[in-house]
Structure 1
Amino acid sequence: MEVLKGTVQNAKCKMQNEDTLHSPLCTLHSSIEPHKEEESRHERADFRSMKLVKDDLTQQQEKFIRNFCIRYSRRTRKSRELIEKHRPVFSDWINSLGFRMSLKEIMYPIASHRSQGARLWDIDGNEYIDMAIGYGVNYFGNNAPFVVEAVEKQLKDGFHLGPQFDLTSDVAELICELTGVDRVTFCNTGTEAVMTALRIARTVTGRDKIVIFQGSYHGTYDGILAIPTARGSFPASPGTPSKMVEDVYVLKYGDPESLEFIK
């Protein structure tokens, strides 16, 4: 709470004069027009994000990758063994993203053991600089002492789910002061926050159509997992009905045509 209060004070003056929009908008994909023929769209779609053909590499490139994979596998042997041991019961999709046949032997996640500040260590003892920082969760660094102290203090009183927590309203007030928004709702995940934001936006505007930008990531909600095709937006993965993304336009980022389309 004290950290959040300090952040509010430091950011207060800066935010008053900042423009609402900072980043350039993006350009329109050639597939923007909505399309109703669901069957033909399913026939033309290719869900495979994996590149299953052999990579077109020179002999020098192949030699480098081969040697690199050998060195990498040796240094992360325990991580690989752990993943192989638990593969029958643990389904983890994240390392299938960007799959390439030439890197097949090292397409496994690193298993971490501990972390501190901007660094983490895997179960093989390798040290890494943590550039992801929990995708934003650990902006104060891993295992920050004041965070650990606050969590330990709260553990003594319990983490009670169901009733309202006595500090929640205070945090909401500080967030409103920091960001300038009127009200705050708390969500378990970014995906849940996106779902709530879309529901609010559609309620206020009375419109169903939304715009996302090609290559952006907004969580795992089916309603925004869309990719542009020659005949309109299409689900980015199997298991998502086409109708879930019928009202989604996927535009190119950084192109004036996208801004004109939105207008």
Structure 2
Amino acid sequence: MNKYIKTVLLSTALLCFGAGSVSAAQFSDAKSGKELTAKQLAQKLAKYDVVFFGEYHDQSEIHKSEIDLLEALHKIKGEKLVLSMEMFEVDNQEKLDSFLAGQLNEADFMATSRPWPNYQTDYAPLVNFAKEQNMPVVAANVPRFLAAHVAKNNASAAGIEEQYKKWLPKATYAPEGAYKDKFYAQMNSPEAPMKMPSARLAAVYAAQCLKDDKMAESIAAFSDEHKNMQVLHINGCFHSDAHLGTAQKLEALRPELKVAVITPLERKQKGEKPAGDFVVWFDRK
């Protein structure tokens, strides 16, 4: 992987990374401000078809809240609940299924499924709970090497080998408006590792949208095949805040689905308007 692609991946990762934290999080209703336990939130979410849980990928406090909510939702939904994850890519769905079915041991699963560096500490609890409960897990994301190709090649999928094209979304578009404005502002922030010329920034935005489109299609496809099942989708909050990104793409694909968004906010940000329907509170340290 060349230096440019590494920088692109680091840049997009910064959209959803913060710093470590250890204390217990809590939820609240964004409209009323009422604090909620995981059990209370699960009860409110029971009426939704798809729940986006937006996270900062390196916040352990939020990860603990994810497993708390998954367990609480399972008590209500039981076999009608499915976990969907940005952290697994569609070409590894068979490996994920084999691991969940006990046909692939953890060592081989880890060696072949391209898990994220913090998988064991932050995402294994979710996957292992799903395994214990015979719960499906959707590997929702586009393979990262395809997103990197689009970012490197001026937003074009030209040159992708035929055998890999089946992993691309059926349709992809990079919309103008709030999502693009937010993306460009973030990528031009002081925290960005490099300043990109406009053409390259447009290509990186196209790669971001490629991920959104594929995750939206993955959720839509599962919902089409499994009516009356609730999907809890875990992703970086940039993909779903304000019902933009993946949430926006899903709502365009399947407007009949009732979608809720959980967004993370630091406790010191109380008083700020949340970018979701519900809030998970945490302390950034």
TM-score (norm 1): 0.25
Which of the two has higher C-alpha Rg?
Answer: 1
Which is richer in helix?
Answer: 2
Which is richer in strand?
Answer: 2
TM-score (norm 2): 0.24
